[in-house]
Amino acid sequence: MKALSFVINQYITDNWFRDYKYPDGKFKYTEFAKAHYIEEKIARKIVNQKDYAMALETLEKICSSRDITLEEFFKLIKK
């Protein structure tokens, strides 16, 4: 079974970061961070450190910026 932090980060990277990529495939960390009310270093950790355990408050900010609740997010990732 995969760790919850891995599942969360993988979902965000695969589904939400795809809108924040340059044509060469690199991520637009700054744009993602600003749009989701988090620091850029956190956006980088989500993508690059799959075992990064973000604070619940950070996940709530990201979800809020996407107009979903934490409950809806956990249903999306089936946890």
Instruction: Work out whether the CA dihedral 43, 46, 52, 54 comes out positive or negative.
Output: positive
Q: pLDDT grade, residue 4 (50/70/90)?
A: very high
Stated length of the chain? 79
Q: Which domains does the chain have, with CATH numbers?
A: 4-76 (1.10.260)
To which residue do tokens 């924040």 refer? 20
- The whole-angstrom separation of Cα 35 and Cα 1 is 31
- The whole-angstrom separation of Cα 29 and Cα 47 is 9
pTM equals 0.91
- Interior angle at CA 47, CA 43 and CA 52, nearest 5: 85
Q: pLDDT for 6-32, tens place per residue?
A: 999 999 999 999 999 999 999 999 999
